[in-house]
Structure 1
Amino acid sequence: MKIAVVSDIHGNLAALDAVLADIDEAGADVTVNLGDILSGPLWVAETAERLMALELPTIAGNHERQLLELPRERMGASDAHAAAQLDDRRRAWLAWLPKTLRLTDEVLCCHGTPTHDLVYFLETVVAQPDGPGIRAATPAEARERAGTAMAGVPHAVILCGHSHVPRVLRLADGRLIVNPGSVGLQAYDDGPAHPHVVENGSPHARYAMLRRREAGWQVELRSVPYDAEAAARLAESNHRPDWADALRTGFVGRRAGVA
């Protein structure tokens, strides 16, 4: 069995189309979407329509929850931009998405962790004034976040997103945790409560391909080129220079809220 895993599209239709074309070329039995689908200053409505037509197995991320639950005045700029383009049909589609999904007997899908959509699974935010403020999670931290999810299942895989960082970690009990990275945004800064910066170092769209082998799961973290400049120009036209820098380079340049 081959599973393509996409996550954190954030309305970047150009990146999504490039990833879907790569998946089509590589071949997959199923493509699963781990959430954070529309929030951002890019192609919100177009991305929604593309995915609704594809009917991929899809779960909600924290931004889907925020779009449905928060009043507009409490939303950040990315959610507010997306909310303005949510008609009743698109909103109903987001509301229908589950928080987690058991894709197969061996594969569980979540956005952050199995119990919380805002917690990084494979990264840990740390107090680091002169650094990125984030590091790889230790096996003990990841095991605690996994809890009992898929415990005791031979060759179990937990698929997660949220941090935008492609990463694979095998727990001591054999559970495999896989983050495919982000299709749509390769760098961002977050805070202010726990300031940190995520940078993947190039504008490539990220996703993962899993293949079931006799001995377990083979994982390939893939990086796909696309027209990132077009996405950056659209972000700038929608008054998000921070996104434009991240889309062009995979690094944080201008920070959120800075002209």
Structure 2
Amino acid sequence: MPDAELGKFAIIADIHGNADALRAVIEDMARHNLDAVVNLGDCLSGPLAARETAEILMASRIISIRGNHDRWLVEQQPSEMGPSDRAAHEQLDPRHLDWLAGLPEVLCFSGGLSGDVFLCHGTPNSDVTYWMEQVLPSGMVTMRSHDAIAAEAAGLDASLILCGHTHIPRLVRLATGQVILNPGSIGCPAYTDDQPVFHVMETGSPAASYAIAAQSPQGWAVSFHQVPYDTRRMVDLARRAGRDDWATALGTGWLRQDWLSPCPSSRGSSGSG
């Protein structure tokens, strides 16, 4: 585990091959005098610019862990993949897949006046579990209870716990004082999934989302950032790939509006988690 201290740093997640959103966030982060940037995974999956995104990340000093789609890209054969993973896989060289395969599942940074920082994609024990949200049998998505959220953190001493996967920016403070933070998604603001039942996750904005955390004597100070960018190239890539669901999500941040046709469900339909 790294021993480096994180003072003021940015948290990004769920890029999903959206190179233009990633560039916009990198430009925005440059204005904030950061010590580091950490990436919580799901870097490349989607019908967008997987190779381009991989090149940006591999050339950067961004500290990355893997997400469930990163794992599927290296563990599954293309014939077993959902459409979003398969579209990304077709763009990647072995060196890109080797980079994904080398990403750790979790990381912990120790030290600092505000305590340790723990990084995971979903939860400490699962990269496909929603930490702060739950999907009801009806398909409605709600917050989990405090006790259920806290139970996922059992055994963790870190004062700041970082997760992604749901694409929804959220912060929860536990009774222990620990903070659980999801920075939202850089590259995919809405998606559908059929696990455990069909449901829709959407932010309502096409902006690229990330967060900044800074140590202070009173604990972690957190700010959420929504970065507008020109979505047209990514929307066009999605449409050319036959993925109108992705194009709608990228252009609007929505999928459930009455004037939209129903979107298909899948593990890779709109870049799930």
User: Does TM-score exceed 0.5, indicating one fold?
Assistant: yes
Aligned to 2:3: none
**1:65 equivalent in alignment to 2:65:** no
**1:246 equivalent in alignment to 2:249:** yes
For residue 137 of structure 2, the aligned residue among 127, 136, 140 is 127
| More displaced stretch, 84-93 vs 6-15 | 84-93
For residue 95 of structure 1, the aligned residue among 91, 97, 101 is 101
| More displaced stretch, 97-106 vs 40-49 | 97-106
1:32 alignment partner AA: V
Once the two structures are TM-superposed, the CA of residue 193 in structure 1 deviates from its matched residue by 4.0
Aligned to 2:4: none
Where does structure 2 lack aligned partners over 5 or more consecutive residues? 1-6
2:21 alignment partner AA: A
Aligned to 1:137: 144
State the alpha-carbon separation in 2 of the partners of residues 256 and 228 from structure 1: 22
State the alpha-carbon separation in 2 of the partners of residues 193 and 23 from structure 1: 35
1:113 alignment partner AA: T
Where does structure 1 lack aligned partners over 5 or more consecutive residues? none
| C-alpha contact 1:240 1:256 (8 A) present in aligned 2 | no
Aligned to 2:33: 27
Once the two structures are TM-superposed, the CA of residue 229 in structure 1 deviates from its matched residue by 2.2
* SS of corresponding position for 2:247: helix
State the alpha-carbon separation in 2 of the partners of residues 29 and 44 from structure 1: 27
Aligned to 1:235: 238
Measured against aligned partners, the alpha-carbon deviations of 1:54-108 in whole angstroms (never above 9, x if no partner) come to 0311100000111111121111100001111221111110111000011334100
State the alpha-carbon separation in 1 of the partners of residues 163 and 67 from structure 2: 10
Aligned to 1:212: 215
* TM-score (norm. length: structure 1): 0.93
**1:6 equivalent in alignment to 2:12:** yes
| C-alpha contact 2:14 2:188 (8 A) present in aligned 1 | yes
| More displaced stretch, 159-168 vs 222-231 | 222-231
Percent of aligned pairs with the same amino acid: 44
Measured against aligned partners, the alpha-carbon deviations of 1:106-165 in whole angstroms (never above 9, x if no partner) come to 100000001100001111111125xxx211222111111122122xx5xx0000000000
Q: 4+ runs of 1 displaced by more than 4 Å?
A: none
CA RMSD, 1 decimal: 1.4
1:168 alignment partner AA: L
**1:109 equivalent in alignment to 2:116:** no
2:34 alignment partner AA: A
State the alpha-carbon separation in 1 of the partners of residues 21 and 228 from structure 2: 8
Aligned to 1:196: 199
| C-alpha contact 2:135 2:196 (8 A) present in aligned 1 | no
| C-alpha contact 1:2 1:210 (8 A) present in aligned 2 | yes
State the alpha-carbon separation in 2 of the partners of residues 171 and 228 from structure 1: 36
* SS of corresponding position for 2:99: helix
1:69 alignment partner AA: E
| More displaced stretch, 45-54 vs 246-255 | 246-255
2:205 alignment partner AA: S
Aligned to 1:177: 180
1:28 alignment partner AA: L
Aligned residues: 251
Once the two structures are TM-superposed, the CA of residue 238 in structure 1 deviates from its matched residue by 1.1
Once the two structures are TM-superposed, the CA of residue 26 in structure 1 deviates from its matched residue by 1.7
State the alpha-carbon separation in 2 of the partners of residues 89 and 157 from structure 1: 33
For residue 82 of structure 2, the aligned residue among 56, 64, 76 is 76
**1:46 equivalent in alignment to 2:52:** yes
| C-alpha contact 1:124 1:137 (8 A) present in aligned 2 | yes
Aligned to 1:148: 155
